Chains A and B, each alone.
Chain A
């Protein structure tokens, strides 16, 4: 701690209000500690928010651009119906690509549920046709009606029904992360206000004397603002670093399909927590400034 204090005293100007306001050691250090804790939590909230956003995007993208048609037909009609479906799809605007899955692909899809040794060929498993949609999408209702009329065994599954609530949940979770960050910012402001307020109250006599010898409010406030802002900045920097290290050391969530995501940052996402210390400093700056001017208004 002395090292940090010494390093800080270098940044102190020779003159100015820092020299005339007595040290605010304990409350300032309390602010530093709070800022560190808040920054640590903020990094987690940020990670949560970004991870769920990523999740929602991934689900949205992966599912929005694909749909499936299931063809349940007696094996002798299967090939013909598949053929008919592909023909209809070829004529449907908004369908970029349509392809019948082969046996190996179908087996791979079922493997997570039944194991790799499933004899797909011998089972009455529906034939799947994968549709990749053009960005504009297609008219699902129209296609459904047409399929019902021409290929009775075919059922269109465009995923929207179960995709929506999942994405909504992920988005809500993402907002929760943002809300948590806002709450953390507010709590930082409240804590700094309390700490600065107590430092100001403890130094009431000093403020009085300074006013009597002609100090302007801004001059007096600056001493407190400098100290609390600096403490908040250094505290939050340590907290952010600790938070990033903690997230970095979380075990990787390895998922085959990449459908799920771990709580963490990826790539440039690691830069996202870097503004946390500066935002904390800004919050502390504003909170201390307001507290100082309010305290000074009571002094003639």
Chain B
């Protein structure tokens, strides 16, 4: 559904990523690892078209991204749920409205989707925090809310950048189980993570491939994982 071919990218002319080939197809489950600063977040941004590659091509749902108009990019993003590493909420709206934001911008009525919104918020364990502002949430609560927001439109592709960085092991496993469940339903999942335990746990339950960014290139991780 999202396919990167020979993609290159660098900030300010530097070469951060080279020859990136990656296909997120229905039912695929990827982990993305690599040292801090390797370019994991950058790669995810290339996948949802926040960044434009300096070389190569990004295809999204069968269309070359370089030829998409801004409105098409917006429509594409409704099919791609992203958990941003820094969460990126609207600070003036409470958690519930932030989670429901993709519905709002898609012109959906929140009243009509009330049950789904509340169910999802309860699932990530934030039912009692639904009316808190983002600034009043802990790091882990923010990450869980970000995951809920990424899933609210039931996207075909889920890109999660360190979704479990700030939550305890039990909650990490719970979130992972949710993502594996969604993956079984045919959604394509990519998780950027440093957490080797999480990756091992996932490999036990799902057909997960582990990719590693090293020196700007994407490679399959070895048997050490």
CB distance from B54 to the nearest CB of A (A): 14
Query: Which residue among A20, A213, A217 has the maximum number of chain B CB atoms within 10 Å of its CB?
Result: A213
Question: What separation, in Å, do the CA atoms of A259 and B48 have in the docked complex?
Answer: 74
* Mask of B77-98 contacts with A, CB within 8 angstroms, 1/0: 1100010100011101100010
Decide: A214 near B74, CB < 8 A? Known: A20-B93, A22-B92, A300-B50.
yes
**What is the bound-complex CA distance between A215 and B52, given in angstroms?**
19
Contact string, A13-25, partner B, CB cutoff 8 A, digits 1/0? 0111101101000
Closest B residue to A22 using CB positions: B92
Contacts A20-B104, A213-B149 known; 14 new A-B pairs at CB < 8 A? A15-B107, A20-B90, A20-B105, A206-B90, A210-B105, A211-B74, A212-B50, A212-B84, A213-B78, A213-B101, A213-B102, A216-B71, A216-B74, A216-B75
Contact A20 B88 (CB under 8 A): no
B117 to chain A, nearest CB (A): 14
Binding site for B on A (CB under 8 A): 14-17, 19-20, 22, 206, 208-219, 296-297, 300
Say if the beta carbon of B38 comes within 8 Å of chain A: no
> Which chain A positions have C-beta within 8 A of B107?
15-16, 219
The minimal Cβ–Cβ distance linking B120 to chain A, given in whole angstroms, is 15
**Nearest 4 interchain pairs by C-beta:** A215-B105, A214-B78, A214-B77, A22-B92
> Quick check: B90 and A214 within 8 Å, CB to CB?
no
Whether A216 contacts B70 in the complex (CB less than 8 A), given A209-B90, A300-B49, A300-B50, comes out as yes
Q: Does B132 contact A (CB under 8 A)?
A: no
Least CB distance from A299 to B in Å reads 9
B207 within 8 A of A: no
A2 to B211, CA, bound (A): 57
**Inter-chain contacts of B97 with A (CB < 8 A):** 19-20
A187-B132 Cα distance, complex, nearest whole Å: 43
B84 cross-chain contacts in A, Cβ below 8 A? 212
Instruction: List, in ascending order, chain A residues with CB within 8 A of B76's CB.
Output: 214
Q: Which residues from B are CB-within-8-Å of A300?
A: 49-52
> A50 to B48, alpha carbons, bound, how many Å?
59
Give Cα A61–Cα B70 distance, bound, in whole angstroms.
60
Complex CA distance for A300 and B76, rounded to whole angstroms: 13
Q: For B76, give the chain A residue with the smallest CB separation.
A: A214
Least CB distance, A294 to chain B, in whole angstroms: 13
When distances are taken between beta carbons in the complex, the residues of chain B under 8 Å from A216 are: 70-71, 74-75, 105
How many Å lie between the Cα of A297 and that of B75 in the bound state? 16
Bound complex: CA of A17 vs CA of B74, how far in Å?
Answer: 15
Can you list 19 A-B contacts with CB-CB less than 8 angstroms, sorted by A residue number? A15-B107, A15-B109, A20-B90, A20-B93, A22-B90, A210-B101, A212-B82, A212-B84, A213-B101, A213-B105, A214-B76, A214-B78, A215-B74, A215-B105, A216-B105, A217-B70, A217-B71, A218-B71, A297-B70
Closest B residue to A217 by beta carbon equals B70
Q: Does B185 contact A (CB under 8 A)?
A: no
